[in-house]
A = this chain, B = another copy of it.
Amino acid sequence: MMLPTHVQLVDVGPRDGLQNEAQPVAAAHKIELVHRLQAAGLKQIEVTSFVSPKWVPQMGDNTEVMAGIQRQPGVRYSVLTPNMKGFEGALAAQADEVVIFAAASEAFSQRNINCSIAESIERFRPVAQAARQHGLRVRAAVSCALGCPYEGDIAIDKVVDVARRLQGIGSHHIGIADTIGVGTAGRVSQVMEATLKHVPLAELSGHFHDTYGQALTNIHACLQLGIHTFDASIAGLGGCPYAKGATGNVATEDVVYLLHGLGIHTGLDLDALVDAGAYISGVLGRPPASRVAKALLAKRANA
């Protein structure tokens, strides 16, 4: 069983992590977080979303945040764009990549964005097209791929079908997302194996939540299939809106600890990541959700 030698992480903390925060986070703190993430070695950062501030007030400072970042060459700055209006904002803000998404669950699609899966993909078609025309990359996520809070289990065929349709409208990359963190390693392997029949290894990634503590095991199962791109969120930013008080996104620090332990190169500096996580956790006034960060910060405090 050969694991990949290199893994690339996409830190989604500034966007996916912070978007659910009840209290506003100042743009200056978000910019500082992005600076710390790139200083720690991250080459892909999901910075913000260009979505109506009526829906996601926390991302209302998208233009200010994008403009405030001192960009580093070789770093890709992504933004979520739910529609053409969002795309225009992303383009003006000089994003490198737009993120689009569709659910693998009809019930989730209806309740979350008020349209069918097919309709949601049609809405993203012009976004993907425009992005490609302007030389931006298109990263697509299949949400609820391992389970849905309304439907429960999701058929693997459905996940693969949505992934292929997102490919069909011009996505460069497909992320399989366990939005509610219910998946376990065996099912994750099955979903990924089925998707890999249609999506090349280099264009597929996993996005796992730690709500049930399964994220690292799921990532390990993906590594065993050769998958080498994963989303993660600094300090585990981003709770689970479907189980209040529960953990959401897997913490970047925890993934990096696993990967380095396996001898896999990430180009990331774990201590700098712990510092970045401690910084934003300090801003939010709570300890990081990352177990590695907790352990290393405790070790530092005792040293």
Binding site for B on A (CB under 8 A): 3, 181, 183-187, 210-214, 216-217, 220-221, 240, 242-247, 251, 254, 257-258, 260-263, 290-292, 294-295, 297-299, 301-302
Whether the pair B212, A292 counts as a contact (CB closer than 8 A) is yes
Whether the pair B186, A263 counts as a contact (CB closer than 8 A) is yes
Whether the pair B212, A243 counts as a contact (CB closer than 8 A) is no
12 A-B contacts (beta carbon < 8 Å)? A181-B295, A184-B262, A185-B258, A213-B251, A213-B257, A213-B292, A216-B216, A242-B299, A243-B298, A245-B297, A246-B298, A247-B291
Whether the pair A184, B258 counts as a contact (CB closer than 8 A) is yes
CB distance from A162 to the nearest CB of B (A): 22
Whether the pair B183, A261 counts as a contact (CB closer than 8 A) is yes
Whether the pair B185, A291 counts as a contact (CB closer than 8 A) is no
Q: A217-B220, A262-B186 are in contact. Are A246 and B212 (CB under 8 A)?
A: no
- Give the residues in chain B near A260, CB-CB below 8 Å: 184
- Give the residues in chain B near A251, CB-CB below 8 Å: 213
Whether the pair B290, A213 counts as a contact (CB closer than 8 A) is yes
Q: Taking A3-B186, A213-B258, A220-B221 as given, write out 20 further A-B residue pairs in contact, using a Cβ cutoff of 8 Å, ordered by the A residue number.
A: A183-B261, A184-B258, A184-B261, A185-B220, A186-B263, A187-B261, A210-B213, A212-B254, A213-B254, A213-B257, A213-B290, A214-B257, A216-B216, A216-B217, A217-B220, A220-B220, A242-B299, A243-B294, A243-B302, A245-B294
Which of B291, B297, B302 is in CB contact (< 8 Å) with A210? B291
CB distance from A240 to the nearest CB of B (A): 7
Bound-state CA distance A260–B187 (Å) is: 11
Whether the pair B213, A246 counts as a contact (CB closer than 8 A) is no
Whether the pair B263, A212 counts as a contact (CB closer than 8 A) is no
Whether the pair A185, B292 counts as a contact (CB closer than 8 A) is no
Bound-state CA distance A210–B263 (Å) is: 20
Whether the pair B220, A295 counts as a contact (CB closer than 8 A) is no
Bound-state CA distance A185–B299 (Å) is: 22
Bound-state CA distance A36–B301 (Å) is: 37
- Give the residues in chain B near A212, CB-CB below 8 Å: 254, 257, 291-292, 295
